[in-house]
């Protein structure tokens, strides 16, 4: 028996991924979501639908660094089957105006990237190899695939987290700014996944640990009907829920949530992928991601800035940290 943590698994893609994992009867699934009540409801639905009781909900608010650390502490306090998978699935998209978390970070960046960055680093020591980390991205990270969404714009991670400090901000209206924050956060997901893979491989090559933890990214495709468009206007929400699903058979890379959920679970369970790492899957196909997603300078900036923002300490991660000069 293995344990998988799936963030945002109370609904949508995460729920369907959790269902596919549970149905294998080999996985104890932790549904990690910010609402304890919605987590319990999801557990009840999954248990009723699968007849399996190896499901538990835990509270995780990715917009709160305190909540992420509490989750890691609470997870470690209870005996469970070996942790073999973390699926970084939860995401938000805000188009009605810029908002900030209580930690002072722009919400889309905080939820879609920063919270997952801290979560994974905190949980690495608890993972039992061979283990897998899957980061859910989006085709919208690629300017060639945005299809109506503004392309990502990565300059410095500090400006993504605190755009009010940017002396040369983009002159985007709220809706465009919110959607660009989303596509840029999806680029960050790819940069994070590839950099995490590189750092884990470096640790193994250096002999500092004998772990085998793979990291891959996943594009579920366009999934109309999910809650990702909840911050959109009434007509856009109607089209997302009722019109686009009808067009699914005729448009490339438009999938049902159930189909994408099964594909996501497959990245966790397929024995053929046990040693595959640093890849980007569109459904079940290994495909190239955007040019920027492979940029080592961007990845380093994102990693080191994120580590500083979440105040990651050497005892919280198995990976070596770049210490400030005063601490060296």
Known catalytic membership, residue 182: yes
With the CA atoms of 187, 188, 192 and 198 taken in that order, what torsion angle do they form, in degrees rounded to the nearest 10?
50
Q: Is the peptide bond preceding residue 130 cis, with omega within 30 degrees of 0?
A: yes
> Which strands, in side-by-side order, build the sheet including 2-7?
55-59, 27-33, 2-7, 82-88, 127-136, 213-219, 279-282, 285-286
Q: Which of 75, 154, 182, 194 is catalytic?
A: 182
Question: For the segment 260-275, what is each residue's pLDDT rounded down to a tens digit?
Answer: 999 999 999 999 999 9
What is the crossing angle of helices 12-23 and 36-50, to 10°? 40
pLDDT band at 239 (very low <50, low <70, confident <90, very high): very low
pTM of the model as a whole: 0.89
Cβ(152)–Cβ(292) below 8 Å: yes
**Domains, the chain, ranges and CATH?**
2-316 (3.40.50.720)
**Predicted pLDDT at 250:** 43
How far is Cα 300 from Cα 103, in angstroms, rounded to an integer?
A: 22
How far is Cα 92 from Cα 72, in angstroms, rounded to an integer?
A: 22
**Predicted pLDDT at 175:** 83
Question: For the segment 210-224, what is each residue's pLDDT rounded down to a tens digit?
Answer: 469 999 999 998 755
Q: Which backbone phi and psi does 131 adopt, to 5 degrees?
A: -140, 160
């Amino acid at each position: 028996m293995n344990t998988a943590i799936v963030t945002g698994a109370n609904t949508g893609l995460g729920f369907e991924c959790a269902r596919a994992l549970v149905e294998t009867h080999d996985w104890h699934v932790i549904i990690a979501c910010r609402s304890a009540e919605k987590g319990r409801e999801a557990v009840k639905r999954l248990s009723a639908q699968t007849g399996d009781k190896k499901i538990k909900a835990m509270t995780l608010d990715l917009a709160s660094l305190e909540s992420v650390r509490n989750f890691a502490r609470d997870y470690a306090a209870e005996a469970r089957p070996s942790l073999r998978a973390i699926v970084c699935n939860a995401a938000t998209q805000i188009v009605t105006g810029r908002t900030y978390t209580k930690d002072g970070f722009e919400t889309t960046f905080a939820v879609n990237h920063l919270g997952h960055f801290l979560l994974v680093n905190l949980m690495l020591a608890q993972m039992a190899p061979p283990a897998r980390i899957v980061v859910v991205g989006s085709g919208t990270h690629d300017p060639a695939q945005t299809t109506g969404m503004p392309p990502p714009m990565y300059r410095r991670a500090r400006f993504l987290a605190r755009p009010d400090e940017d002396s040369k901000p983009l002159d985007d209206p709220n809706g465009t700014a919110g959607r660009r924050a989303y596509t840029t956060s999806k680029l960050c997901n790819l940069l994070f996944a590839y950099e995490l893979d590189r750092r884990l491989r470096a640790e193994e090559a250096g002999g500092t640990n004998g772990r085998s933890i793979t990291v891959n990214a996943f594009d579920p495709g366009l999934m109309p009907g999910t809650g990702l468009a909840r911050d959109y206007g009434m007509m856009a929400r109607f089209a997302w829920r009722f019109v686009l699903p009808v067009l699914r058979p005729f448009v490339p890379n438009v999938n049902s949530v159930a189909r994408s959920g099964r594909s996501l679970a497959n990245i966790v369970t397929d024995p053929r992928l046990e040693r595959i790492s640093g890849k980007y899957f569109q459904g079940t196909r290994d495909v190239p991601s955007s040019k920027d997603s492979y940029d080592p300078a961007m990845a380093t900036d994102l990693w080191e800035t994120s580590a500083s923002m979440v105040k990651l300490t050497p005892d919280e991660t198995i990976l070596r940290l770049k210490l400030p000069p005063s601490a060296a």
